Amino acid sequence: MITSIGNNGRVMPTPSSTDPLLILSSTLQTAFEAVAGRAGIDPVIRPSEHADAQANGALALAKELGQSPRQVADAVLAQCAGLTDICSSIEVAGPGFLNLVFNNDFLAGLLKQVSDDSRLGIGKVTKRKVVIDYSAPNVAKEMHVGHLRTTVIGDSLVRMLTFVGHDVIRENHIGDWGTPFGMLIEHLLDLGETKAAEHLSLGDLDGFYKQARAKFDGDEAFQDRARSRVVLLQGGDDETRRLWKLLVNLSTQHFNAVYELLGVLLTDNDLMGESAYNDLLPQVITRLDKLGLLQQSDGADVVFPPGYTNREGDPLPLIVQKGQGGFNYATSDLACVIDRIDRLNADLLLYVVGAPQAQHLSMVFDVARMAGWLNEPNEAVHVAFGNVLGSDRKMMKSRSGDPLKFIDLVEEAVTRADESIASKNPNLPEAERKVIAQMVGIGAVKYADLSTDRVRDYVFDWERMLSFDGNTGPYLQYAHARICSIFRRAGIERESVRNITPNLVEPQERELAIKLLAFNAAVIDTIDKYSPHRLCTYIYELATTFTAFYEHCPVLKAEDENIRQSRLALCDLTARVLNQGLALLGIETPEQM
RNA sequence: GCCCUCGUAGCUCAGCUGGAUAGAGCAAUGGACUUCUAAUCCAUCGGUCGCAUGUUCGAAUCAUGCCGAGGGCGCCA
């Protein structure tokens, strides 16, 4: 099954789609075009509160045709005689809307198609080579809540992009280079390698960093040592490189432990730290110079991309080589663009980086375009996210006060989940409960982060994150667990009901069917905007629609065997979509909780 | 001073490719459990969609200007 995306990023309907709204859209388009007497009319199909769907196209077309919207709607309706296999009812309503009610057999047939499809109706898209830059913790620094966002959002985008058929390259651009390493290496030497290794392997990266920083700030002799150590490091001195590598390895071990605990896909193979681009940096300058883009400003080498100004209203430069001759992050970000496009042949570069970097990245992309390194159809996108705020609504900065350590956060979430499960389901053996608590606790943390619009600031709240009510991970997992429980209790294999075409009678059954068939659209929309919260909203709506069905439509106690079989099929498909949807967010679904 | 993002119910958030009466959850109130796991469901309560003007048949959604919050603005990354 192929769902193609047009160059406007929107989904174009294809006959093989299992999305009833798409099918309706392409079918009604013909009717609208017949009335308009020209091609390219959008019927403007939307979900509706007054019917299963509504077509708003008549209102827009009325002016062009010099008729009233209701006249246009009536004319379109007259063209829809052949639609009876899709819609059981079409009527004109209000100022000129077409209210459409789907034929039950049509919906049931689509459900069967989705059920027969291991991809649950999610089509593959035209393949692109995508490089996604996310997580990016700093060596010898603790991962904190800020890293949580980029890591969790990036991981979920990786899963979705891969699933729809893109070739995805993960890059973890760790901060493993630059001036702080002078002081870090000198501090390592002061402590002694063995003691430093013990210190760092305990995961107390911040303590190590702070000690080094304190010495640097208060001790001039140490400052001198640190500065000359940086020179040695950048000059490629063997012993210095060895010590540097030691620091990097100890840190990445810690990162890997966190990634594994979180169930994030990043591994050592994805490491592409700043140091990896070191050899490319001089080239960036020479190439910009050859292109005539390089200018001198206050002793630094800079490029002036148009459209940026500083406080005084003067053109704002992107500094690519400092007055002292050193490179900075602009240089290395430009090297990244070159490397990702030239060496990796990527055509889409995603940067899951905090919103405060917007101007910097925008300038880097502009300079890359000016230099001809980034051309259509290749594109770079800043997948920006907002700050993590405390309950006081102030930014949670690692500097000020006590930073919330990543690992402590996850452990507390798991502990709380464990306590909840123990109290709600005391018969569950402890070993099983521990496994489930891990899924629930970590799922809660991830879902809390993913379920709000990423560009907005995010209020970090223990209570809400771990609450088992409302739009939370545990609620969704619970809906899934309840379905599994039905099958477990009845001793029925899930696979055994997959040859059944459901019979949709009750309103809750129809609602559930329509929601299930919207999965593909939700995933495509989520990817189109790089906004996981859209998928979260869909899954939450699916779960609430399911629980309404669950309350109103008895499954195992259904009045006859056909209804029972039909409802079992609906349950199974719902569980599969919940499971797949949450999997695309990087969240696991326990079978009981 | 300039630029960017955000402003929706008491709280936390959806909705923003313009469509009918703006939706959830939490909190508050009232119901439904010898259960297909009540970690749930149903109902009630709660909103000048920051303000104003404009575009349009139609604006929470688009444009412009204000107000408020946060962020960014030359050698940290």
Task: Yes or no: say if A288 and A294 are a contact pair by the CB < 8 Å rule.
Answer: yes
Same domain, A563 and A433: yes
- Phi-psi category of residue A372: left, alpha or beta, with phi > 0 → left and psi -120 to 50 → alpha: left
- Report the pLDDT value the prediction gives residue A161, as an integer from 0 to 100: 98
CA of A357, C1' of B66: distance in angstroms: 28
Q: Cβ of residue A314 near strand B, that is under 7 Å? A: yes
Structure confidence at residue A402 as a pLDDT band (50, 70, 90): low
- The percentage of residues in chain A with a pLDDT greater than 70, rounded to a whole number, is 95
A436 and A576 co-located in one domain: yes
Q: Identity (one letter) of the amino acid at A37?
A: G
Looking at the structure, do residues A63 and A189 belong to the same domain, yes or no? no
Point out the nucleotide closest to A54 (alpha carbon to C1′): B19
Which nucleotides of strand B are protein-proximal, with an atom < 7 A from a CB? 1-7, 12-17, 19-20, 23-27, 36-42, 56-58, 70-77
- For A26-35, A47-56, A406-415, A569-578, which range has the lowest pLDDT when averaged over its residues? A406-415
In this model, does residue A4 exceed pLDDT 50? no
Do A440 and A569 sit in the same domain of this protein? yes
Number of structural domains (chain A) is 3
Q: Please give the residue range of the domain that contains residue A222.
A: 178-265
Mark which of A242, A265, A288 sits at the end of a domain: A265
Q: Is residue A313 part of a domain?
A: no
CA of A120, C1' of B39: distance in angstroms: 28
Distance A38 CA to B41 C1' (A): 50
C-alpha–C-alpha distance, residues A97 and A575, integer Å: 35
CATH code assigned at A491? 1.10.730.10
CA–C1' A383–B70 (A): 19
State the nucleotide closest to A540 in CA–C1' terms. Answer: B24
Mean pLDDT of A338-364: 96
Per-residue pLDDT, A82: 81
In a domain, A364, yes or no: no
Q: Is residue A285 part of a domain?
A: no
Map residue A170 onto helix, strand or coil. Answer: strand
Q: What is the dihedral of CA A497, A502, A506, A511, to 10 degrees?
A: 100
Encode burial over A386-421: b for 16+ CB neighbours within 10 A, e otherwise: bbbbbeeeeebebeeeebbbbbebbebbbebbbebb
Condensed to tens digits (0 to 9), the pLDDT of residues A431-448 reads 999 999 999 999 999 999
| Contact, A427 CB vs strand B, < 7 Å | no
pLDDT at A12: 43
Given a cut of 90, whether residue A339 has pLDDT beyond it is yes
* pLDDT value at A399 more than 50: no
Q: What average pLDDT does the segment A83-92 reach? A: 93
Domain boundary among A265, A289, A305: A265
DSSP string, A416-453: HHHHHHHHH-TTS-HHHHHHHHHHHHHHHHHHHHHSS-
CA A457, C1' B51: Å apart?
A: 23
pLDDT, position A16:
60
Instruction: Report if CB A50 to strand B is under 7 Å.
Output: yes
A467 plus A578 within the same structural domain: yes
Give A83 CA → B52 C1' in Å: 47
A518 touches strand B (CB under 7 A): no
Higher pLDDT, A408 or A25: A25
* Strand B close residues, chain A 191-230, CB < 7 angstroms: none
Cβ A49 to strand B below 7 Å: yes
Determine what percent of chain A is predicted with pLDDT higher than 90.
Answer: 77
Distance between the alpha carbon (CA) of A522 and the C1' atom of B12, Å:
23
Q: What is the pLDDT of residues A449-493, one digit of tens each?
A: 999 999 998 888 877 887 878 999 999 999 999 999 999 999 999
Residue A270 domain flag: no
Q: Does residue A413 or residue A8 have the better pLDDT?
A: A413
Q: pLDDT per residue over A110-168, tens digit each?
A: 999 999 999 999 999 999 999 999 999 999 888 887 799 999 999 999 999 999 999 99
With 80 as the cut, is the pLDDT of residue A394 above it? Answer: no
Mean pLDDT of all residues belonging to chain A = 91
Kindly tell me if the per-residue pLDDT of A275 is higher than 90.
yes
Nucleotide with minimal C1' distance from the CA of A555 is B36
A557 sits within 7 Å of strand B by its CB: yes
Q: What is the pLDDT of residue A401?
A: 53
Among chain A residues 474-513, those with CB within 7 Å of any atom of strand B: 474-475, 478, 481-482, 484-486, 489
Nucleotide nearest to A173 (CA to C1'): B77
- Could you say which residues 244-263 of protein chain A have a Cβ atom less than 7 A away from any atom in strand B? none
Find the Å distance, CA of residue A56 to C1' of nucleotide B57.
13
pLDDT confidence band for A10 (50 / 70 / 90): very low
Q: Which residue's CA is nearest to the C1' of nucleotide B40? A: A547
Phi, psi for A131 (deg, rounded to 5): -105, 125
Who's near A121: CB < 8 A, 6+ residues apart?
A1, A17, A18, A19, A113, A114, A517, A519, A520
CB distance A482 to A590 below 8 Å: no
Backbone dihedral region for residue A502 (phi beyond 0: left; psi -120 to 50: alpha; all else: beta): beta
Residue A462 CB closer than 7 angstroms to strand B?
Answer: no
Strand B closer than 7 Å to the CB of A332?
Answer: yes
Q: What is the mean pLDDT of residues A336-344?
A: 97
Boundary-marking domain end, from A265, A300, A317? A265
Cross-strand partners of A550? none
Does residue A17 lie within any of the structural domains?
yes
Q: Does residue A451 lie within 7 Å of nucleic acid chain B, judged by its CB?
A: yes
pLDDT of residue A11: 43
Q: Which residue has the higher pLDDT, A204 or A590?
A: A590
Asked if residue A439 and residue A576 are part of one domain, the reply reads yes
* pLDDT on residue A13: 42
Q: Nearest nucleotide by C1' from A45 CA?
A: B19
Whether CB of A565 is under 7 Å from strand B: the answer is no
Question: Sign of dihedral through CA atoms A388, A390, A394, A400?
Answer: negative
Nucleotide nearest to A436 (CA to C1'): B39
Residue A295, CB, less than 7 Å from strand B?
Answer: no
Q: What is the mean pLDDT of residues A217-233?
A: 91
Instruction: For residues A577 and A492, state if they share a domain.
Output: yes
Q: Are A468 and A420 in contact (CB under 8 A)?
A: yes
Through-space separation of residue A234 CA and nucleotide B62 C1' in angstroms: 52
Distances (CA, A) of A232 to A138, A225, A321, A473: 21, 10, 19, 49
DSSP state of A271: B
Contact flag, residue A44 CB and nucleic strand B, below 7 A:
yes
Instruction: Give residue-wise pLDDT tens across range A47-72.
Output: 998 899 999 999 989 988 989 999 99
Position A209 pLDDT exceeds 80 = yes
- What's A11's domain CATH number? 3.30.1360.70
Residue A405: per-residue pLDDT? 80
At A395 the pLDDT is: 60
Residue A101: CB less than 7 A from any atom in strand B: no
Higher pLDDT pick, A209 / A483: A483
pLDDT at A261 over 90: yes
Which nt sits closest to A136, CA to C1'?
B77
Residue A274 CB in 7 A reach of strand B: yes
* Angle at A156 (CA atoms; ends A466, A178), nearest 5 degrees: 100
The answer to whether residues A471 and A570 belong to one domain is: yes
pLDDT of residue A565: 96
| pLDDT 10s digits, A545-567 | 999 999 999 999 998 999 999 99
Whether A404 shows a pLDDT value over 80: the answer reads: no
* Position A576 in a domain: yes
| A92 part of a folded domain | yes
Spatial distance from the CA of A385 to the C1' of B69 (Å) = 17
Residues A439 and A533 in one domain: yes
pLDDT at position A403: 65
Q: What local confidence, expressed as pLDDT, does residue A203 receive? A: 64
Query: A94 and A231, same structural domain?
Result: no
Residue A215 and residue A86 share a domain = no
- Lookup: nucleotide whose C1' is closest to A56 CA: B19
Model pLDDT, residue A457: 87
The reply to whether the CB atom of residue A282 sits less than 7 A from any atom in nucleic acid chain B is no
Provide ipTM, 2 decimals. 0.96
A533, pLDDT greater than 80: yes
Q: How would residue A9 be classed by pLDDT, with cut points 50, 70 and 90?
A: very low
Position A322 scores a pLDDT of: 94
The reply to whether A409 falls in a domain is no
Whether A433 and A551 map to the same domain: the answer is yes
